[in-house]
């Protein structure tokens, strides 16, 4: 049956099966949801922002443009029948075949959104992860970029983004603690750095003192600024 659309999205709020069709080549993406309009609106929002979890569909969206896609309801059904009906449409439209569609997995419900894995699946995933350290992508990226100086354009953009923003008291105190070298005499700074084995540069007046991180045997070199 036809569905009234608002902003290109069917107004149907019932549960059922939907498809996203690329009018340029006829390829489709099939999915199911307990709220059809909500799910289709979410798909469009993620695609527009380039954050969709299906990279194949996302690339097609960027390549052919938003106007090349349409959102349709294939069938309404009870929530208990969603997986069964979704599988029927995936098979019928061959949406898991790269020649005809954008579904990554041929099995319905592969995204697992709003659903839970079976006990057997959880046991398999747990066994697979055993002995593997968790990936710490953020820490790895921070370590790789440590010591690198941002380009001027990036520093200017950050400064403009923070323009007018007030820092909270905790942030101010932390910044003060990180800049303790500016409030102490050079001799006191170098003594502290020697004691803790720190390495770095200490600016005092027109000179910069380089402190090597060798503890009490730290070598000091005064360089003109």
How far apart are the C-alpha atoms of 39 and 33, rounded to whole Å? 6
Q: Residue 54's domain is classified under what CATH number?
A: 3.40.1440.10
168 within domain boundaries: no
Q: What is the DSSP string of 38-106?
A: HHHHHHHHHHHHT--S-HHHHHHHHHH-GGGEEEEEEEE--GGGHHHHHHHHHHHHTTTSTTTB--S-S
Report how far Cα 78 is from the mean position of its chain's Cα atoms.
33
Where a domain ends, among 98, 116, 134?
Answer: 116
Nearest by Cα to 68 from 21, 28, 29: 21
At 16, the pLDDT band (50, 70, 90 cuts) reads very high
3-state SS class at 188: helix
- Domain containing 57: what range? 5-116
96 within domain boundaries: yes
Give the residue-averaged pLDDT of 72-86.
93
Angle of helix 36-49 relative to helix 55-64, nearest 10 degrees? 70
pLDDT over 50 (residue 220): no
140 vs 97 pLDDT, higher one: 97
Domain count, the chain: 2
163 within domain boundaries: no
Give the residue-averaged pLDDT of 119-125.
58
Does residue 101 sit in the same domain as residue 197? no
pLDDT over 50 (residue 79): yes
At 124, the pLDDT band (50, 70, 90 cuts) reads low
Does residue 186 sit in the same domain as residue 105? no
Nearest by Cα to 10 from 33, 38, 46: 38
* This model's pTM is above 0.85: no
Residue 192 per-residue DSSP state: H
């Amino acid at each position: 049956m036809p569905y009234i659309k608002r902003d290109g999205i069917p107004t149907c709020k019932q549960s059922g099966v939907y498809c996203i069709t690329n009018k340029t080549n006829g390829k489709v993406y099939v999915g199911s949801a307990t709220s059809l309009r909500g799910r289709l609106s979410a798909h469009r929002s993620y695609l527009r922002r380039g954050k969709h979890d299906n990279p194949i569909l996302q690339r097609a969206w960027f390549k052919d443009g938003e106007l090349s896609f349409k959102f349709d309801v294939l069938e309404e059904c009870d929530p208990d029948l969603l997986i069964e009906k979704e599988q029927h449409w995936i098979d019928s439209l061959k949406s898991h075949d790269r020649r005809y569609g954008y579904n990554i997995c041929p099995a319905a419900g592969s995204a697992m959104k709003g659903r839970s894995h079976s006990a057997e699946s959880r046991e398999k995933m747990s066994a697979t992860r055993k002995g593997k350290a968790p990936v710490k992508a953020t820490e790895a990226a921070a370590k790789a970029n440590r010591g690198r100086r941002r380009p001027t354009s990036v520093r200017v953009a950050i400064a403009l983004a923070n323009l007018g923003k007030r820092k909270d008291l905790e942030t101010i105190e932390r910044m003060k603690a990180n800049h303790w070298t500016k409030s102490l005499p050079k001799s006191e700074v170098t003594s502290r750095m020697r004691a803790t084995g720190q390495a770095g540069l200490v600016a005092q007046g027109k000179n910069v003192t380089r402190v090597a991180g060798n503890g009490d045997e730290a070598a000091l070199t005064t360089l003109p600024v």
